[in-house]
Amino acid sequence: MNFRTSGPFPQLILDDVRGAQKMLSGVARTTGMEGSRYLSSLVGAPVHFKCENLQRTGSFKLRGAYVRIAGLSPVERASGVVAASAGNHAQGVALASSLLGVRSTVFMPVGAPLPKVAATREYGAEVRLEGQVVDETLAAAQEYAEETGAVFIHPFDHPDIIAGQGTVGLEILEQCPEVRTIVVGIGGGGLAAGIAVAVKALRPDVRVVGVQAAGAAAFPPSLSAGHPVALGSVQTMADGIKVGRPGDLTFPLVQELVDEVRTVSEDELSSALLLCLERAKMVVEPAGASPVAALLSDPKAFRGPVVAVLSGGNVDPLLMQRVLTHGMVAAGRYLSLRLRLTDRPGALAALLASLTVADANVLDISHVRTDPRLGLTEAEVELHLETKGPEHCTEVAAALREAGYLIRS
């Protein structure tokens, strides 16, 4: 593609995104738009999900990867491509390369989830496990590129990548022309920048809101400083947006075109993922659920109709299990209690009868008699209960106290 030049970096325009859309015809799916009655009731206006979790390879990353690799010269294609990723970008590069007949090598961290490693191989890439963290994996991929001449495919900081991701914005305007706010997760900024380039050119009145995980929120300090700022550390379950520094190309685009960047907590991400699964029947990874987390945390802050971009659905089953449990706790659906009772026949049965009356479901129970802090006739019981929400948790605890049980912290 031919990009305008402004300062040290190419400047993207609407025609670049439209060109990417033509290139992706028949390759990337035009993913569906699904309404959310629950979120609509909270926001007070229609809320729709843009379901990129149902894109080929399970995320939007195929769009940018395909446009980038398709734009290589014959000589560059012959040298092959290389990428570094813990998951979504890896799969996007692998499939795009296979479709274009280009050899691909993908470096992934040693601890990358096995389903993501297997999927990347199945899409046709040679996978090399290097490094314990993504920075080490990235360095290994760049070293490989220098040694072999393979073209390094950056996950977000390249004009072709951004133009490809921007096609999501064009689809949103076509599918929901009445949209007033688009909410999208931000890691390095490629998706948000691409969407903003397309949307602001056609509908400058539409508000674009980016969302970062609080433990990997590099954009707020960068926007305050006026230039990309690297975080000292990043920690979040949302590996799809776990990026410690904005891109040199994506940063000025986000700075100019994205109206606001919000942050969400791990508890909010867990609750959002749980909502997507329970209410929308959508399997969404934590990064993909970040826009939903922002809507849940402050629903009245968004002018509707709202489109929340579910950017990916590649979640490791083990992480899903942990996140769902965490989300259930955050939503008040689990209650853990410790209490003491007299160690006599029937005491535990009486306790369980009280819980039955309170309509609490016992998930796990441990019965301790040998702790030296206990009296001769005492036993301590630790309970893990499934409840119906925060109000029910309060009701269960009150019922136990009324029955004479002392709940310990």
Structure tokens at 246: 């904005």
**210, 258 contact by CB (below 8 A):** yes
| 50, 59, 61, 200: the active-site residue | 61
**197, 253 contact by CB (below 8 A):** yes
Examine the residue annotation and report whether 50 is marked as an active-site residue of this protein: no
**194, 284 contact by CB (below 8 A):** no
Question: Residue 331, Cβ neighbours under 10 Å: how many?
Answer: 17
Question: Locate tokens 């609080």: which residue?
Answer: 214
Examine the residue annotation and report whether 116 is marked as an active-site residue of this protein: no
Question: Locate tokens 């008040």: which residue?
Answer: 332
**194, 166 contact by CB (below 8 A):** yes
| 40, 270, 271, 311: the active-site residue | 311
Q: Which residues are catalytic?
A: 61, 311
